[in-house]
Amino acid sequence: MGAGSPTKKKKMRKWNFTAGPSTLPEGVLRVAQAAIWDVGLGAGILEVSHRSAYFDGLMHELEEKFRRLGGISDAYDVLFLQGGATLQFSQIPYALTRPGDHIDCLHTGFWTRHAMRDAARYTSVHYAYDGSKDGFDHIPEAGEIAYSEGARYVHYCANNSFLGTEWAHPPRAQAPLVADMSSNLFSRLLDVDAHSLIFASAQKNLGMAGCCVVIVRRDFLEANLGPNLGSMFDYRRLAEARSMLNTPPTFALFVMKEVLVWIESRGGLAGVGAENRVKAAIVREAIDATGGFFCHIGRADSRSQVTVCFRSPSAALDEAFAAEAEALDMIGLRGHRETGGLRASLFNALPREACLALAEHILDFACRMG
């Protein structure tokens, strides 16, 4: 069916492929809409005190569901913080390194570059792998990584949303492993025990903007946490206060709890992971079927399950594709501002029907323009 076909039925809501804030389950949006008015207390969630019995119960339920779905043991603290993942770029090295320390980085693109730019203010950075020489087109194999001796920890980004590459498994390292999982946390089964610290912003698979999740081993904190930290930078104090050292992002936490209810209803992380693999296959197979008109960005062995990046033969055609997609009720398909091209973020709440609609548009556009 061609773009703008008059026989196409208009959708009430568009298919949202945006990288974040991203699409949310419609059922969660309905619950949140009602909760803004009243959560059963004669007041809405935007008005309820974080010191109330209601909110205390919400936080217990949120952490219980998060731990159960993620398979997170009591060896870890789970923190629900403000400042997004970007604050963690500074907070982690500031709180967990000392003068004379250094860290290792597995540099796979935009987000590790930004993280290390901040980390370098507090500690020395050694690049155990630098993908810039290859255009960040793949996830490194073990033989490409050269760890240093005595690194305080190893930092990596699990899903590189600007070019669509993803670690299929955590890297192996002797030093503690720190992962930025902002765009793939809870998109599939999670190997928490391979890590000493995991952090992720919420607005991809976990809810709305305004909250960052930190999963951190207590023994890692005890061995590394620096002295004389400001209260909001001290992970131990944040854990003791159950993420409520100050007023937390109450609405964002309510929404996250409802998203976890939705994930559980979809079969947990195994269920959403299986569905995300199907969604990615639908889009990638359509790209392959265009005979080279559209091409994937990133090497085949490194391609992401949740971020599909691709290009047409020219920037002008990329823009035409995205503009036509918008006329077909598909938004958010333009690539990262640094790389251009096209990008489809297939986060948990995006339904399979959206991927089928995108695949149809890919094939139709290539047929007409190729």
pLDDT tens, residue by residue, 76-99 = 999 999 999 999 999 999 999 999
Answer yes or no: pTM beyond 0.75: yes
Under 8 Å between Cβ of 250 and 45: yes
What's the mean pLDDT in 51-76?
98
Listed in order, the ranges of the chain carrying CATH 3.90.1150.10 are 267-369
- Percent pLDDT > 90 in the chain is 95
What's the mean pLDDT in 289-304?
96
- Position 198 scores a pLDDT of 98
Closest CA to 206 of 267, 257, 265: 257
- Position 162 scores a pLDDT of 87
Handedness of CA 30, 161, 113, 80 (dihedral sign): positive
What's the mean pLDDT in 155-165?
95
What's the mean pLDDT in 17-45?
96
Rg (CA), the chain: 21
What's the mean pLDDT in 124-153?
97
- Position 3 scores a pLDDT of 42
For residue 249, is the peptide bond before it cis, meaning its omega torsion is within 30 degrees of 0? no
Assess whether pLDDT exceeds 50 at residue 211: yes
What's the mean pLDDT in 124-128?
98
Assess whether pLDDT exceeds 60 at residue 24: yes
Residue 26 to residue 55: CA distance in whole angstroms: 23
Amino acid identity, position 335? G
Assess whether pLDDT exceeds 80 at residue 7: no
DSSP code for 201: E
- Position 174 scores a pLDDT of 96
What's the mean pLDDT in 285-291?
98
What's the mean pLDDT in 244-250?
96
Active site residues: 111, 180, 204
CATH topology of domain 29-265: Aspartate Aminotransferase; domain 2 (3.40.640)
- Position 11 scores a pLDDT of 65
What's the mean pLDDT in 50-79?
98
Assess whether pLDDT exceeds 50 at residue 1: no
Closest CA to 367 of 227, 359, 281: 359
Listed in order, the ranges of the chain carrying CATH 3.40.640.10 are 29-265
CATH topology of domain 267-369: Aspartate Aminotransferase, domain 1 (3.90.1150)
Mean pLDDT, rounded, of the chain:
95
More confident site: 162 or 25: 25
Assess whether pLDDT exceeds 50 at residue 310: yes
